[in-house]
Amino acid sequence: MLQGFDFRGRRVPLVSQPGIFKPAILPEVPLTIRTAPEEEGRVRPDADEMDSEGRLRYRYRGTDPHHPDNVGLRRAMQRRLPLIYLFGVIPGQYMPVWPVYVVGDEPATLSFLVSVDEQKHALPVAEEDSRAVEARRAYVTVVTQQRLHQQTFRQRVLRAYRQRCAICRLRHLELLEAAHILPDGDPRGEPIVSNGVALCKLHHAAFDRYILGIRPDLVVDLRLDILREADGPMLQHGLQGFQGVKIAVPHDERLQPNRDWLAERYEIFARAS
Higher pLDDT, 127 or 207: 207
Give me the mean pLDDT over the 218-240 stretch: 93
Task: Please tell me the predicted confidence (pLDDT) of residue 40.
Answer: 52
Task: Please tell me the predicted confidence (pLDDT) of residue 53.
Answer: 75
Instruction: Compute the C-alpha angle 103/107/111, nearest 5°.
Output: 55
Question: Own/partner pairs for 71-76, CB < 8 Å, 24+ apart?
Answer: 72/20, 72/22, 72/28, 72/29, 72/30, 73/20, 73/29, 73/30, 73/33, 73/102, 73/112, 74/102, 74/105, 74/112, 75/28, 75/29, 76/29, 76/30, 76/101, 76/102
- Residues 47, 238: Cα–Cα separation, whole Å: 42
Of 60-64, 81-85, 146-150, the least confident: 146-150
Task: Please tell me the predicted confidence (pLDDT) of residue 249.
Answer: 97
Domain positions in the chain are: 5-158, 165-272
Confidence of residue 198 (pLDDT cuts 50, 70, 90): very high
- pLDDT tens digits for range 149-185: 888 899 999 999 999 999 999 999 999 999 999 987 7
Task: Please tell me the predicted confidence (pLDDT) of residue 45.
Answer: 43
Q: Is the model's pLDDT at 47 over the cut of 60?
A: no
Confidence of residue 125 (pLDDT cuts 50, 70, 90): low
